[in-house]
Amino acid sequence: MRIFIADSDGGYRQPSRILGRFVDNLAEWTGAREAVRVQWPTPGQLNPRRSHTWESAAAAGVADLSRLVRLHPSDPLVLIGVCSGTRVIYDWMDAHPEDLDRVVAVGMIGDPYRPRDRWLDGTPDPGGQGVAGLRRGPIPERTHWVSVPGDPLSGVLPDCLLRGVVRASALAPDQVYDELLEDLPDTRPRLAARLKLAQQPAQWSPQLLRRLDDAAAVLTTYRQREYAALYESGEDGASPLTRLAAAIVDRVDARDREGGGDSGHGGDAGWSRGVRPQLSECASGTA
């Protein structure tokens, strides 16, 4: 078993505390040989020759993920996408249908492509949908989406004005937000100008006013980042990330039963899986 993670930092910086704890626990609970972060450049990052778009940066991530997969041709795979890194996972799956039988489970965390009707079993409907459009990928039956209420990337309203801005940009959604926040307008007319709305203020409907206020609220939520803590807290004691890990462990267990019980561990006599997460015993604030 190999776990490959494409996160929003491209694998070049230390992962966040929340993500690091989740990956460590998932590797232990699944008995994976290793968990490796996919290397991919930050979209918009300048160098002397070019600036990467989200598409070209993701293509570099797909190439690195393909390299990692080829290094371990017989091992089952668990793929994790985080925020803008989910594009790397989606694009790789679309480009490599021949390898999808090896994918035991896919976890999408804070996915800017999250479909409106997809969220993790055992967690409340987070509301909204991804700001970058909708993608289910080629194996939605093995894909688990996790979001939390108020996530500004994976849980915006269907008519959120930021959706059009993100789709029109070559950058990743979080970078679009960062650019808008560099000098966030403090009035509706200025925000409308930044969002390139054609209507004049005299033509604005009550609905448009509400959508402008919603866009400002989403950007403020993204800047404050308080929503991130919700991923490792839960009212009933089991955090969304713990539930995601448990769902992936269930997939691994099912694959073991179907395939004879080794889950690609090569029959190593010394292999043993960590203790499966017990949701009823997980303390709030842990993942």
pLDDT digits (tens, 9 = 90+) for 254-281: 998 887 555 544 433 333 455 566 654 4
Q: How far apart are CA 232 and CA 144, in angstroms?
A: 16
Give the model's confidence band at 48: pLDDT under 50 very low, under 70 low, under 90 confident, else very high: very low
CB neighbours of residue 167 within 10 Å: 12
The 10s digit of each residue's pLDDT in 110-161 is 999 999 999 998 888 999 999 999 999 999 999 999 999 999 999 999 999 9
Burial class (CB in 10 A: 0-12, 13-18, 19+), 28: middle
pTM of the model: 0.89
Give the model's confidence band at 52: pLDDT under 50 very low, under 70 low, under 90 confident, else very high: confident
Tokens found for residue 240: 């969304």
Please give the C-alpha separations between residue 93 and each of 42, 75, 131, 144, 235, in angstroms, as whole numbers.
Answer: 20, 16, 21, 15, 34
Q: How far apart are CA 106 and CA 5, in angstroms?
A: 10
Phi, psi of 3 (to 5 degrees): -110, 125
Tell which wins on pLDDT, 20 or 76: 76
Q: What average pLDDT does the chain have?
A: 87
**pLDDT-wise least confident of 27-36, 37-46, 93-102, 193-202:** 37-46
Residue 199 pLDDT: 74
The 10s digit of each residue's pLDDT in 152-178 is 999 999 999 999 999 999 999 999 999
Q: Could you tell me which residues are beta bridge partners of residue 34?
A: 2
Query: What is residue 195's DSSP assignment?
Result: T
Could you tell me which residues come within 8 angstroms of residue 156 by beta carbon, excluding any fewer than 6 positions away?
128, 129, 130, 131, 162, 163, 218
- Find tokens 């609220």 and name the residue: 217
CB neighbours of residue 142 within 10 Å: 17
Per-residue b or e along 178-199, where b marks 16 or more CB atoms closer than 10 Å to that residue's CB? eebeeeeeeebeebbeebebee
CB neighbours of residue 224 within 10 Å: 10
